[in-house]
Each structure stands twice: as structure tokens, then as C-alpha cells.
Amino acid sequence: MLPVPPPAPADRQAVRHRPRIGVVKFASCDGCQLTLLDLEDDLLAIADRVDIVEFAEATSRRSSGPFDILFVEGSISTPEQVEEILRLRAVTTTLVTIGACATAGGIQALRNWADHDAVRSLVYPHPEYVESLATATPVADHVAVDAELRGCPISPDQLREFVTAVLAGRRANLPDEAVCAECKRRGIVCVAVTGGVTCLGPVTRSGCGALCPAFGRGCYGCFGPRESANGPGLATWLERDRTPTDVARAFALFDAWSPPFRRVIDAAGGPPGPIDGSTAKEPPDA
């Protein structure tokens, strides 16, 4: 997907007249929605300019649409969700996916490599009551997406910038560049080159402000691949002194199912620690 496109001309008209905003979720932890609530003072200023008509985390007011802007959290993991996202798309002008689950499938997409029934048995005492799809997939696999905010969770700064830009009628400044660019601008010492730390920064989209490297940790890649992300290029370098399994483990996290990361994981024969159902819990006694 391209980085955030400019609002279509219709949107620019719409935003002049108190846009109707919705926030919905699918398979996810709600953390990205909480980022919206964490905007605090800014959220009040935003709420003055828009009608938040659907946001179950924040208000009991509900709406089934239409929406000028709809923020969608979570991956598509059940048959009902497939139908619901199609319905929402039809009543939404600008559909924005937020967070690694919605944009890449999330951590739950690790099940896409495994046997579906085995995974269900592993998690649920009575899998026969659970209706789910064999895969957890990003929203863009099902409907057209107009913009995406990455991360696990999303960055409050990027969310603020996105909302501000939409309301002001300008293109949001969400650069599609590596985390390395933020490290270098901030003067953070490279943890990979000085310490040999496994860092996905070079193939991961910036936007977090290089949060993990600022604390001496390698980037976990939670913002997912940037454009032209050369996952295999980084993996080849890392495999000089790591096993392919260890390298794949680094990629097999929140954005594992994104194609550039998936290539690395597939090359290692799938995510390390295969879920084969052998460790499934026994149903508890009634």
C-alpha cells in the first residue's frame, strides 16, 4: 500500500462540515484505540471539530454509519468480520487501518502457518463453540484501505499528525522511511553496529521516534516493513553469526504476515516453535 494518500476532493468538502468519525475493532487488543484516548487534551480539541459517532471504548453512543472517516483496529479473523468489514467499507469515505493487526494481521497471524484446528484446540477448551477463519489477515486483504497508521500500538504523534492533516485539509506527514533515519536524526548510537544487537530498524517503517533503540534495544519491527523493505538482505547479514531460526524468530512477531517479513520466515521453514497442537490444554472439568 502507498503511504497515506491525500484526502480525495470529496473528503476535503466533507471535513469542512463536522466529519462523522467512527472507531471500530476486529481481532485485536484495543491498545490502538487507547492511544486515541491517550491524546487527552488534543482529543478534546478534535472532538470539538468532529462528531465521534461510534467509539465503543469511549462512548455508549453507537452508529452503523455512514462515516466520513473510520478508524479500523484489528485483523479479520472470523467469517462475521469478513461480512462486517465489507459493510463498513460501503458506508465509509476514508477508511484508515490502525495498528499492526489491521495493517498486517498482527501477532495472531502466526496461526496462518499452523494447522487451524490444532491452534483452536490449543487455545480453547471447547473449540467446537468457536467459529474462526483459518487465517488472521489484514483489512486491506478484504477491502480497499485509504490510509494506514502502523505500529503495535500506533504512535500518538502519528495519530495526532494524521487527524490534524485531515482536518486542515493537507497531506499527512508520515514518511515511509527506515527507523534508522529517526535514530540518526536523534543521534542515537546504532545498537546493531556497536553491539551486534538484532535490530529490524533498517527494514521497518519509522514513526515511533526510534523508541526501542533509544533504550539500547533492537527494533522489533512493530511498525512493519517500509517500502522496498529488503528482509532477505538483512537476514543474510544477520545469518553470518546467527541461525536462520533465530533470524526468523526476530521477524515472526507483530508484522510476521507482511510479505517482506514473511519471505524471511518462510525461508526458515515457518515461524520457530511450531504450533502442532501437542501441548493443547485438556478441557477443565465442568
Partner 1 sequence: MSAVALAPIATNRAFLPREKLDVLLDALRDDDRTIIGPIVRDGAVVYDEIRDTTDLPIGWRTDTAPGTYRLEQTGGTRAFDYGTALSTWKRYSHPPRVPLTTTDGDGLVASVDPEVPRVAFIGVRACELAALGIQQRVLGAGPAGDADHAARREAALVVAVECAVATSTCFCTSMGTGPEIDDGADIVLAELEEGFTVRAMTSAGERIVEGLSLATATQGHLESAAEQVATVRASIGYPVATGGLAERLRAVPDHPRWAEIAERCLACTNCTLVCPTCFCTSVAPTSDLDGTTGSTERVWDSCFTVGFGRVAGDANFRPYVADRYRQWLTHKFSSWWDQFGSSGCVGCGRCITWCPVGIDVREELLAIAPPDSPPAPIPWPLAPARGHAPAPVPVVEPARYVPVEVTAVGRETNDTVTLSLATDEPALLASRPGQFVMVARPAQAIPPISISRLRPDGLELTIRDVGPATAALTSRKPGDRLSLRGPLGRAWPIASAHGGDVVIVAGGIGVAPLRPVIDEVLRERHRFGAVRMYIGARTPRDRLFVEEMAALRGRTDVEIEEIVDRGGPDWLGRVGVVTQLFERASWNGSHTTAFVCGPDRMMQATARTLAARGVDPSRTLVTLERNMACGVGVCGHCQLGPYFVCRDGPVFSAAELGDTFTVDGR
- The residues of the shown chain that bind partner 1, judged by CB under 8 A, are 2-3, 6-7, 9, 12, 45-46, 49, 161, 163-165, 167-171, 173, 175-178, 180-181, 184-190, 192-196, 199, 201-203, 216, 227-228, 230, 232-234, 236-237
Cβ closest to partner 1, residue 62 vs residue 170: 170
Closest CA to 87 of 104, 112, 66, 111: 66
Decide if 112 contacts 164 (C-beta within 8 A): no
Cβ closest to partner 1, residue 42 vs residue 141: 42
DSSP, residue by residue, 215-248:
TTPPP--TT-B-TT--HHHHHHHHTTSS-HHHHH
Residues 6+ apart with CB under 8 A from 212: 218, 219, 220
Cβ closest to partner 1, residue 137 vs residue 258: 258
Least Å from the CB of residue 235 to partner 1:
10
Cβ closest to partner 1, residue 53 vs residue 163: 163
C-alpha cell at 118: 490444532
Least Å from the CB of residue 149 to partner 1:
17
Least Å from the CB of residue 76 to partner 1:
28
The single-letter DSSP state of residue 204 is B
Least Å from the CB of residue 66 to partner 1:
22
Cβ closest to partner 1, residue 88 vs residue 265: 265
Q: Locate all alpha helices (DSSP H) within 116-270, ordered by sequence.
A: 116-123, 156-168, 179-186, 191-195, 211-214, 231-238, 244-251, 259-267
